[in-house]
Amino acid sequence: MRNVYSTLIIAIICSQFSTLFAQGILSGSLQTRTNFYQRDTLIGAANTPQYDNQLSGSDGWLDMNYNNWGANFKLRFDLFNNSNLRNPQGSYSDQGIGFWQIRKKIQKLDITAGYFYDQIGSGAAFQAYEARLLAIDNALMGIRLQYDLTENISLKGFTGRQKNFFDLYGSTIKGFNADGFFSFEKAGVNIAPGVGIVNRTIDEESMQRIAANIATYSPIDTFTPKYNNYAFTLYNTLTYKNFAWYVEGVYKSKEAIALLDGQLVDRPGSVLYSSLGYAQKGLGITLQAKRTENFQMRTSPNETLTRGLINFIPPMARQNTYRLTARYNAATQELGELGLQADIIYSPIKKVSLLLNFTNITDLDNELLYRELYSEVTIKGPKNKWKLLTGVQLQQYNQEVYEIKPNVPLVNTIVPYVDFLYKFNRKLALRTELQYMNTDEDFGSWAFGLVELTYNRRWSFILVDMMTLNPSQYYQKVNRTVENPNKPVHFFSGEVVYSRKAHRFGLGYIRQVEGIVCTGGVCRYEPAFSGVRFTAQTRF
């Protein structure tokens, strides 16, 4: 009888909640990835907990968004089971609420409580953002207020602590931002100025670690660390006819920062960034320049790599998408870099477009860090029956700096590539990629091939092979002894993908070489992978 009453009570409660929530709008998304690990010592897929013992691991994120009563509610469930996202060589398991937020606008005042993502200007002074596959989730946990002072001026203030998976870093972060927009119609000019200030106060535990570290230095290198540091930014976007010019200057007060060898020094920092764009029919030109000096912005100088990042310095290198053109990527150098980039897109006729990009990045002593010349030609056939994309990339990459590998030469590469798509009919299409990397450094030269067959816009069948062309050089680099050192190493992958409306599922066998993976100038090391991977994504 008790079970009957319990069932009735639950049914009544559920019906009441159903009636209540039916008045609002519920939406969300799910992303999950499960790896089944297959030990492969030949490519270095071994000697981690996943390959040696656990054999499988999963990551998942369920986002929920609900709108009702003039308010917005967000909730995200995060799952990590035997995950190597937090540490590529380790294993991490935990689950729980990874994000929640309540947001309400009352007339001109917008109130946010809980976790939130935001930025000031380009993000060089402050940016809370997420790049989940790089294990970056820098959401701030606190309160944010935004007020529309006039139609052209908005003010924003916030305070909180930064997210650290299911915990919070001890340091507190506060900020203020004012944005404006003014139009001068007679002159045909629009300006969008902004100003911001960010303050970080180090927690007591972190300060004790910093002080203990400094106490071990020689007298000439010692200094008194500060609890508070400040970053000030001033920026503006000016548009005139076909031109758009953005400029930003950021200054950070003196504080303890870590050099590459881990030693702490007491220095101020700065970032100067500008981009100039011109666009008209068939032509687009973008010029960018950036200078960075001693601009580490973290919850504490004790944090390294992608941990505790408070800001996001815009990258200067082009974000490439093809496997071999993206193999060597230039991560933003916080301690010092001077970068220049030019990007030109030209379409002489309707079905043809040309792209040319040049990037040059040096340190502040004019030592070359990265140089790239990238060209791309896109040609579309009649009625878009086929599409050809081809080009060549030339690179110089300072592996000693970007990957902290001492006494290695600059990596020089030449990468021609071809991407061809042919549509047999409305249901069947075939896409092929061919790429070749010529280099004498690192692992040597590579060849890459991909075939993708798409049926009915729902099914995709993908076959990939990435092959070493200098096997003995590869074996030497990964420290492997084999019977036949001249036998090429093949990195085969095969995947089946099914997409239906808001759903996407993928299942495949993957054999992937180790390397650096970058998103937006932020990079992390990815170990070699061998095994089966299942992915699922959906929106509702």
- Write the pLDDT tens digit of every residue in 109-167: 999 999 999 999 999 999 999 988 888 899 999 999 999 999 999 999 999 999 999 99
* 39, amino acid identity: R
Do the strands 490-500 and 529-539 form a parallel or antiparallel pair, or are they unpaired?
Answer: unpaired
Whether the predicted pLDDT of 42 surpasses 90: no
User: Cα–Cα distance between 208 and 206 in angstroms, integer?
Assistant: 5
Q: Is residue 146 a contact partner of residue 134, using CB atoms and an 8 Å limit?
A: no
Q: Is residue 198 a contact partner of residue 310, using CB atoms and an 8 Å limit?
A: yes
State which of 35-44, 259-268, 313-322, 373-382 shows the largest mean pLDDT.
Answer: 373-382
DSSP string, 527-539: --EEEEEEEEEEE
Give the list of residues 6+ apart from residue 500 with CB closer than 8 angstroms, or none: 458
Q: Is residue 339 a contact partner of residue 368, using CB atoms and an 8 Å limit?
A: no
Confidence of residue 521 (pLDDT cuts 50, 70, 90): low
66's tokens: 């609900």
* 13, amino acid identity: I
Whether the predicted pLDDT of 262 surpasses 90: no
Average confidence score pLDDT of the chain: 91
pLDDT in tens, 70-122: 999 999 999 999 999 888 889 999 999 999 999 999 999 999 999 999 999 99
pLDDT of residue 230: 97
Do the strands 92-106 and 71-83 form a parallel or antiparallel pair, or are they unpaired?
Answer: antiparallel
Give the list of residues 6+ apart from residue 469 with CB closer than 8 angstroms, or none: 444, 445, 446, 447, 488
- 474 — alpha (psi -120 to 50), left (phi > 0) or beta? alpha
Q: What's the alpha-carbon Rg for the chain, to the nearest Å? A: 26
Q: Report in angstroms the alpha-carbon separations of 60 from 35, 63, 75, 271.
A: 12, 10, 14, 36
Whether the predicted pLDDT of 347 surpasses 60: yes
pLDDT of residue 321: 87
User: Cα–Cα distance between 312 and 126 in angstroms, integer?
Assistant: 7
User: Cα–Cα distance between 516 and 535 in angstroms, integer?
Assistant: 21
Alpha helix stretches (DSSP H) within 245-286: none
Q: What share of the chain is helix, strand, coil (3-state, %, to 5)?
A: 10, 60, 30
Whether the predicted pLDDT of 386 surpasses 60: yes
Confidence of residue 21 (pLDDT cuts 50, 70, 90): low
Give the list of residues 6+ apart from residue 124 with CB closer than 8 angstroms, or none: 233, 248, 250, 271, 273, 295, 311, 312, 313, 314
Q: Is residue 191 a contact partner of residue 234, using CB atoms and an 8 Å limit?
A: no
Whether the predicted pLDDT of 269 surpasses 80: yes
State which of 168-182, 319-333, 474-488, 507-521 shows the largest mean pLDDT.
Answer: 168-182
pLDDT of residue 5: 41
Whether the predicted pLDDT of 20 surpasses 70: no
What share of the chain has pLDDT > 70, as a percent?
Answer: 94
Mean pLDDT of 336-343: 96
Confidence of residue 17 (pLDDT cuts 50, 70, 90): very low
Is 0.85 surpassed by the pTM of this model?
yes
pLDDT of residue 483: 80
Task: Give which of 90, 30, 35 is closest to 58, Cα–Cα.
Answer: 35
Q: Is residue 48 a contact partner of residue 89, using CB atoms and an 8 Å limit?
A: yes
pLDDT in tens, 389-433: 999 999 999 999 998 888 899 999 999 999 999 999 999 999 999
Q: Is residue 337 a contact partner of residue 369, using CB atoms and an 8 Å limit?
A: yes
User: Cα–Cα distance between 446 and 456 in angstroms, integer?
Assistant: 33
Whether the predicted pLDDT of 52 surpasses 80: yes
Mean pLDDT of 173-192: 95
Task: Give which of 382, 426, 514, 509 is closest to 89, Cα–Cα.
Answer: 514
Coil, strand or helix at 540: coil
* DSSP letter assigned to residue 262: S
Give the list of residues 6+ apart from residue 350 with CB closer than 8 angstroms, or none: none
Q: Report in angstroms the alpha-carbon separations of 296 from 17, 222, 257.
A: 48, 19, 7
48's tokens: 């981690």
